[in-house]
Chains A and B, each alone.
Chain A
Amino acid sequence: MFEFFIGKKYHKTKKSLSFINVINKISVVGIAIGVATLIVVLSVFNGFREISTTLMTEGEPHLTVQTANDSEDISKYLKKSEFVDLFYKFEEGKVLFGNEEHFEIMNLILIEDSIFRSKQLIYNKLSEYDTIFYGGNLAISFYSAIEMNLQVRDFVQITSFESLENSALTFSIPDITTLQIRNIYFSRNASLFKNYIFASSNLASEIFPDRNRNTQSIAVFLINLENANEFKNQLSAKFPDANIKTWNDNHAQILNVMKIEAFFAYLLLSLIIAVAAFNILTSLTMSVQIKKKDIAILRSLGVTRKGIRNIFLFEGLLNGIKGTSWGFLLGLAIYFVQKYFQVYKLDSSKYILDAMPVSISFWDLPAIVLMSVFLSFISSYYPAKKASLTNIIESIKWE
């Protein structure tokens, strides 16, 4: 393709006006800085988003399924599925929880007894603080234990809100269940850490005696939480009457905010590339001006207007591609240095991380490269088009 051959030669050769060379270099450096900045900033956004997602979902089911009639069939299906790591039936409700000295309002999750006893919940989903686990009774968070001065083997009382409401209406004494703390768990998920306690579902009829149990809830943990939506679709197709929610649905707002934030960062930082690419327009316009005679000669040799346009498009695009390549390598280098050598540290006494998190999303890289090349193309197009309109006779006479 002769257009590329000529465009590449023009790109490589130093221009007779050193001013143009300087502008060319500024555009390449500017694009490189823009691309590198985009890669680094977006990888930091991704890093923080991954950490936030981990924190948000720690101990929380990846899917919750509510069903009236299909619970056994769904359980069988979940057991066979290759996506599923763990699932259990559960019940939940608000309770008043405490001892003689302190009372707190908590969400009580009653987990299928076999799961609760086998420690799978604790082992898989939460960081176990206390290794003593006898099964049967109650697991509370480390945070609650400190707040309420509780420890393993202490006895606590639990009263459901439903029982409190009932007693208020009937002027009777509420049902109080006494349980022994058998486990204290640690979680980085703030809401789980502060507001949740866990017990076996064997206690369901005792704590929530008057509850209608027509609908059953199933918590599902997947091997990879990113598959939640895909698995939800699969499950919905199979069990259309079931009400299924993913962790994405539960945190949709905050996840959307993070996505919008990253998108606007992408747009704003693309402005750096746009400004740098504008220099391509300037230098290429001057290059076209000083090459008018060459253009006329090429036209006299049979190059079409489109061919002339392509030659200068290639010249401009090669500047853009050069800057993009350097920026790409620089951005990746900074990313890998931070990922593996953690150059930018965070104060671990203040934050749960000891270094700034970085993560590259697969689609970010082509999006950045395409944006950079697109902006270079736009900047090259006007001067290239102008070049194609050169008058042969007038330019050949210009000697």
Chain B
Amino acid sequence: MSVLIKASQLVKEFKSANKSIKVLKNIDLTINKNDRIIIYGASGAGKSTLLNILSSLDFPDSGKVEFEEIDIFSKTDDEISAFRNQNIGFVFQFHHLLPEFTALENVAIPMMINGISYKNAMKKAEKMLHKVNLSDRFSHKPAELSGGEQQRVAIARALINSPKILFADEPTGNLDSENSKIIQDLLLDLHNKLDLTVVIVTHNSELEKIGNRIIKMEDGNIFEIS
């Protein structure tokens, strides 16, 4: 299996006025192409911090992250932004859709950021929304959608630029069990259809079932369970 991401000796420390907390303690992690990695652990274990660093949203204090053998933190800020846009998809616990824009526009925006015309981006966004079974919600704004629908729009947005990897931080954390199941099935389906590498941080034990690798995170360290 070829390596997609290789993280080495990642350290992250948060400092406040009188104390510092080491959230990541020399973490080494390799993510292969087509992996479905589930990371779980107690609150404050450092799961989200690890996800943010692997996805280039945040910087480690030391250590490096190589994406297809290129150190992403050696790039300039603009290059990292372009890298994120073209290679990485995110799904957050709270859908984080832009409230002023329709579902279609929300999905199209990453393509427009990538320089695709409005017209073409909207066409592709229609197809993506169709894939997540939201063909009848094109012109709805996020506030007019249910929690499950919002999260499906967020997944469509994350995948519109055909990223190489999808990071999901508690994607079902804000949903009822029925909608959690829908999202879980959708993620698995998209993984199979799109040949996608997926990294999911979760508390939901049901989601663990879709992973091929399960990683436990505890006190700033990771342990590969299976």
Contact = CB atoms under 8 A, between A and B. Distances in A.
Contacts, number: 63
B110 A302 contact: yes
Interface string B20-60: 00000000000000000000000000000000100001100
Given A10-B100, A299-B81, A301-B85, A396 B109 contact: no
Contacts of A298: 98, 109, 113
Interface residues of B, number: 28
A306 B81 CA distance: 11
A204 interface: no
Contacts of A305: 77-78, 81
Given A9-B101, A301-B113, A399-B94, A392 B58 contact: yes
Nearest to A15: B100
A303 to B, nearest CB: 6
A6 B94 CA distance: 21
A392 B55 CA distance: 12
Nearest to A306: B78
A297 B98 contact: yes
Interface string B141-180: 0000000000000000100000000000000000000000
A307 B113 contact: yes
A45 B43 CA distance: 72
Contacts of B90: 300-301
Given A9-B101, A300-B57, A301-B85, A2 B77 contact: no
Q: Is the interface of A mostly helix, strand, loop or mixed?
A: helix
B92 A396 contact: yes
Given A9-B100, A396-B92, A302 B112 contact: no
Interface string A269-307: 000000000000000000000000110011111111111
Contacts of B99: 294
Interface residues of A, number: 23
Contact of A393 (B52, B78, B83, B118): B52
B84 interface: yes
- Closest A-B pairs by Cβ, 10 of them: A302-B85, A2-B112, A304-B81, A13-B100, A302-B84, A304-B78, A301-B110, A297-B96, A302-B113, A302-B81
A305 B81 CA distance: 9
Contacts of A396: 57, 92, 96
Contacts of B194: none
A9 B94 CA distance: 22
Nearest to B157: A301
Contacts of B94: 399
Contact of A304 (B57, B77, B109): B77
B223 to A, nearest CB: 25
B179 to A, nearest CB: 18
Contacts of A392: 57-58
A8 B77 CA distance: 25
22 contacts: A2-B112, A2-B113, A9-B101, A13-B100, A294-B99, A298-B98, A299-B81, A301-B90, A302-B81, A302-B84, A302-B85, A302-B86, A302-B110, A302-B114, A304-B77, A304-B78, A304-B81, A305-B78, A392-B58, A393-B58, A396-B57, A399-B94
Nearest to A16: B99
Given A9-B101, A302-B84, A393-B52, A2 B96 contact: no
Given A297-B98, A399-B94, A303 B81 contact: yes
A294 B118 CA distance: 20
B35 to A, nearest CB: 21
Contacts of A6: 109
